[in-house]
Structure 1
Amino acid sequence: MSNNNSSGSMQKFTATVVWSLWVAAFIAFMLVWLKDAHAAPVAGTSIGNQASATYTDGSQTTRTVTSNTVVTIVQHVASLTLTADGNKNVTAGGQVSFPHTLTNTGNGVDQFSLATVNSGAFTFDQVKIYADLDGDGVPDNSSEISNTGDLAPGQAYNFVIVGQVPTTASSGSANDITVTATSGFDSTKTASNTDTTTVSSNAVVNVTKSIDVASGSAGSGPYTYTLTYNNTGNSAASNLVITDDIPDGMTYVPGSGRWTSTGATVLTDLDATDDQGGIVYDFNVTTTDTVRAVIAVVPAGSSASISFQVNVDNGLDAGSNPATLNTAYYSYNDGSADVAQNFTNSVQFRVDQTVAVSSTGDSVAAAAQGSTVTFTNVVSNDGNGEDTFDLTMINSSFPAGTAFVLYQADGVSPLLDSDGDGVPDTGPLGQNESVSYVVKAILPSDASAGGPYTVEAKATSSVDVAVFAVATDTLSTITSNSVDLTNDVSGAGAPGFGPGAEAVSVDTNPVNPGSTTTFTLAVANSSSVADNFNLLASTDSTFSTIGLPDGWSVVFRDASGAVITNTGVVNGGSTVTVTAEVSVPADYVPGTEDIYFRAVSPNSGAGDIVHNAVTVNTVRNVVLESNNSGQVSPGGTVTYTHTLSNLGNVTEGNGTTSSIDFALVDDKDGFSSIVHWDINNNGVLDPSDPVVTDASQLTGGSNGASTNPGLDPGESATLFVKVQAGANATAGAMNTSSLSATTSGTIDTQAAPTAASVDDATTVIAGSVKLVKKQALDADCNGLPDTAFTTADLTNGAVPDACIRYEITARNVGVSEVLDLVVSDATPVHTIYHAVSPAAASAGTVTAPAADDSGTIQVTANSLAPDQTLVLTFGVKIMP
């Protein structure tokens, strides 16, 4: 007898160890799998990636450009798990049930076929599979199944195998049922369990577990667990021991234990020795955090149940949390020996997802007109499940024309759309996870000074679009740009220093009639940001009207002598020197005329005026205006200003006594040009300025030829030559637009003067740096692209655990060297940096994240010459 007891104790001990190891392994697997399940992107996920670059151009202005976006579509990979092997006793002619759970661990929707085979000392009369969707270990109905139906990634499916034992099966004989699940997407992916059935002529006890409500919110309850047992054997069972470890995410409700045999009588929790009518029940006494019930006798053919309650803890992640997965186990004596410990079906409580988000904005004290303001915002997932938040900018009070661009936390990698809804987003955020992103507000150069200005950044849940958070980004003030226009030099003490216009002229130049006098002007940009300034002259000190004495003209030139109407870019704190050539008509009467020069930004409106004067001598002469030069982008336009002056003493171009015909020729294909007359004499090409082909059309305006057709003696007219470059014009190409004014007709026996002409030289420039991004699959992650790099979408082979190689090419397509080039990229959502073949560049210094981490990849180069390229390559791995 002692030997039998020793053998039974050893058998029970061995079974306990085996069971404990199985439970530990299963829980460990679920913890790891559920923890990382969201990391692998589901099939069809679009992994978009875009590079950016910053550099300093020839005007010492910092520029930013972005590349094209390349897209990788994640492909479906099948995977599954099946738990668990069962081991039960049954009487001859009886039924035996084995619960199983199949989980789709692949990254796409899949369905799995289920099939069984059995072998051993006897063969079941029949083996059937039933769904157990509520997970209580009992078939839901009498309909057999052979397929799970569609399961989403991470979804679990419960089913029960029921076998009918033949009446001829002998006691002690055994049978193995092997159930195999096969992926419908990939038939090579299978999983199997083996259930062992042993025939017994003694007691046969089975225990199943259920919960009254299988889902609810974190922090809710109580919920009732019920452990139902029955004896389908031929004799009474004794010493039925049922133990149930309370999951980590649940808390036992004291005094909730009940037994159907004693009805509403409370089962005491704190005494592991008291017999309460045939049951000894305790919680947290025999084993920590464990319900333990010992039923003295279970008569043959009887059935009963034990129940208790739990509350779900706060703070649990949404979904099928391992902290709420529960399996009980049991052992008993069948009348002749102890039966090895077995386990019940597993019961999963699913925590409902609550959606919540919070967001914080940023404040910037001041920014200059035309500058870029950077705000760093934070979005936090305050819900209990993974969520992705779309980011949109709304309710802006910033000046019209302000552009808002979103970047990742590094401030250089554009923020992309990770969930395919067309809106930039945070990427997936787990519970209590936060992410920073950068909002760059690009202010228009003509933005009005003042403030404050606000814009709202809206973070909207992808799980529930009704849930969002709004953060406010605030710019307290926009500061005005400023300029100081002086004669000769800049700075304190210079003629005209400080705000103008001055009450008396700071300089007076003598000039002969028909001649030109020159003033040297210093244009000092006293702001912190680069700006450019239109140059104007007028006899009106307020410039409410822009006009000169009849027949006068002013031509501005840069340091090289080229005719200009704008200074071009003047860096903050820098000064450029220009000259103003004042031309006086030959018939102008002697005297002194005040003339005011103005420099005003067409962008910010910053301006200044300097007061000068010209004393006209009593002599006569004739002048003719010179050529212009400028720059234009492909497909863009540039406008040049010319003055057509009659310095003679007879009317020219009236169409009666003489004609002045205009001809305009471009020497490069793809360029076009046209001549307008500045009919309102405002120095700007307006929609109302007409196209002209001869001087007889110069009538009815507010400047030259305002009364009669043509030009009277001493009269002049302003002509605009508008040049447009072709959209396919290449950087560095130069076109010369030749404008000629040909006079015909004899007046008083005098032949027409020689034709006058001017040339406008237009050079094509483009955005200095162009980025092109390409990708290639690296299926075996050896660090080498499997095919040529392409801008096309990657689909075939782009599966979790595969790699992608990226190639970013930066080319200087401008006509001058760029400095301080920084090309930036970042690991996309759902990927990590793959360092088997580290990030490398054809030049410069490369920085990258640690292996298997995420972050920014950059290459920094001191300079990039025209038409020179820099190539950056690196790889990422799609999360497994």
Structure 2
Amino acid sequence: MIKRTLPAILLGTTASLAIVAGGAQAATATVAGTEITNVAKVKYSVGGTPQPEVTSNTASFVVDKKVNLTVTEVGNSATNVFFGATAQVTTFKVTNLTNATQDFRLVAGQQGTLSLTAFGGVDNMDMTNVHVYVDANDDGIYQAGTDTATFIDELAADGSKTVFIVADVPATGPIGAIAGVSLTAVTANGGGAGALGIDVVGTSGAGTDAGVDIVFADDAGILDGLRDGKSSAYDQYTVGTAAINFVKKATIISDPVNGILSPKAVPGAVVEYCLMVTNGGPGSVTDISITDNIPAGTTYVPGSIWSGGTTLLGTCVIDGTPEDDDATGLDETDINGGNFDGTKVTATMPVILPLTTVSARFRVVIN
């Protein structure tokens, strides 16, 4: 309670009064613990004669701490991952809306199975090795050797900090796997750099003018209540999956008897193998490497490897990039690759987008 008193002044019935109080309302929140003092003055006249100005006593009080904060997800999208990936990151921002410097205790959590997640879908997987770290250099990018603090230390009023949840993806999981995660920030006492203060506790009962009372003013969050000194937000990991279909097709190109007209699989005939990889989605696949052993009874045709081609009506189109038989040279500088090591053919491609097919082809001669 704030009390302001003026001494009683006995005035005549003809006295006129003018009371002036100093001070204007601050434009920004005043720091908790600030002592605010002021005095008032009264001017008056008796029988038309001005009298000496009278000054009141000094009224004072200490500004209380209004505890408030927010936790928000950064990026407004899920983190796309793959099974077995490590140190995968979701990002949050913690803002100190308290009128004082505060520490914040950080708690990472995982959503319950079958609960709705932040960006669509239902939680059906838990992450492993879950940790929470504070962005040390405020660049918004998680760096394992730099971002090692696990709590927010001495965050000034109206200041913000980026916080990362870092976790590993299980090696296997359900199709369309989604893991919902949460970050809760708990307001803690500041005042000691390098050490996490204890959680702030609200003042119960009537306040005092002399001390700093603690008043919670935060909204209810997804995992916290109204006016409890906490805030929370959800994010999610979505595992990108891809359904791969791999087909190999042999086509007789020519034979020594019929040439290219209705060729038959006789000794001396040239056979082209078409290897087709189709990605049914929904995710992309990368780092594709196809290997094919040269079958017994045939001989590889030197320089016949083509990689990164397309298909039409279930067979290879005459396109892609030509590859020589070794794994070095100018032909290895493009995005596709290929080589023959004496027993098998290898063809590589960087990516297959969802709902697309890439192919590789090479030729053999029937012995």
- Normalised to the residue count of structure 2, the TM-score between the two structures is 0.39
Q: Higher relative contact order by CA 8 Å / sep ≥ 6: 1 or 2?
A: 2
- Normalised to the residue count of structure 1, the TM-score between the two structures is 0.19
